[in-house]
Amino acid sequence: MEHKKVAPEVIAEYTVKALRRTVPAAVPGIVFLSGGQSEEEATLNLNAMNKLEVLKPWTLSFSFGRALQQSTLKTWGGKKENVVKAQETFLARSKANSEATLGKYAGGTGTGSASESLYVQSYSY
């Protein structure tokens, strides 16, 4: 069965609607895990949530999880000669997520391993 991709704007609308109905305004912030999305998908969805022009009494941000680390770890590969490139990759992902927290991410850092799904069947936290 083929699944149709849902646009980040639709995901944002339903996610924020659910949060507004259930999360008290006194909660200072909500951070998101990738939930198996690619790094880029997670960033685009966070950006879309922050672009919504509705009352959001909490900060919507990202966690220091797989969607921030995976492409960095893959780039590094445990090799000393890859450290600088891995640092550049980490900086790019961090900047992308920082911009998404402000609703100002333009997209485009999701090339290579950042666009790979992070889904792992039966993954346990």
* Residue 119: pLDDT over 90: no
Q: What is the pTM of this model?
A: 0.83
105: Cβ–Cβ under 8 A, 6 or more apart, which residues? 43, 44, 46, 47, 96, 97, 99
* Residue 59: pLDDT over 70: yes
* Of 121 and 56, the one with more pLDDT: 56
* Of 54 and 114, the one with more pLDDT: 54
Percent of the chain with pLDDT over 70: 85
pLDDT bin (cut points 50, 70, 90) of residue 3 is confident
* Residue 25: pLDDT over 80: yes
Q: What is the pLDDT of residue 123?
A: 57
Percent of the chain with pLDDT over 90: 70
Q: What is the pLDDT of residue 60?
A: 98
Q: What is the pLDDT of residue 111?
A: 57
- Average pLDDT of the chain, as a whole number: 89
Residue 14, H or E segment = helix 8-22
